[in-house]
Homo-oligomer: A and B are copies of this chain.
Amino acid sequence: MANLTQGYIRRGLYIGRFQPYHLGHQAVLRKISEEVAEIVIVIGSAQSSHTMENPFTAGERIAMIYEALSDLRNRCYVIPLEDVQRNAVWVSHLISMVPRFDTVYSNNLLVVQLFSEVGIVVRKPPMFRRDVYSGTAIRKLMLDGGNWRNLVPVPVASVIEEIDGVTRLANIFEEDSTQ
């Protein structure tokens, strides 16, 4: 992995679940885009969908991101990453699925820990009002009939409406609560 840092690759890596992609992600990625030549955007838990935590498929999340970041498309890689059920191999798994990168951006402390154990330093990007711009909060607004559209880029709202995402989430929620 030593070769990850030698040379001057200038590719930053950013990881999220994007359930859904929101204006917080958008702000962070625009900020990172000023620092690096190219961004590798990794969609975590790619195999999950139709659950309370992960209502949208990886394909739907890919569509959201490309629509919202269309002006940066020439400098982005958007890559779905399935979970492996063991943290000790997760960094290797990720490295095998993405083009080479030289910086990781993450506020997730487990991600920070896992990368640091193999000698890769992680930068913490600024967060943009995490209380408001959070997937959990937005999914709650969707369930409660609140105004979630304000918190996501316009094209993301369209993707969600096309697939009738709010009804999907409501069905998942109903089932979950009656268990």
Contact = CB atoms under 8 A, between A and B. Distances in A.
A77 interface: yes
Interface in A121-179: 136, 167-168, 171-172, 174-176, 179
Interface in A28-68: 46-51, 57-60, 62-63, 66
A114 B89 CA distance: 14
What is the size category of the interface that chain A forms with chain B? 35 or more
Contact of A63 (B87, B99, B168, B171): B99
B114 A50 contact: yes
Main secondary structure of the interface of A (DSSP, over half): helix
Contacts of A79: 62, 79-80
Contact of A110 (B3, B63, B98, B172): B172
17 contacts: A1-B119, A2-B119, A47-B88, A48-B86, A49-B87, A50-B114, A57-B88, A58-B97, A63-B99, A66-B99, A73-B74, A84-B89, A86-B96, A89-B89, A110-B176, A113-B167, A113-B172
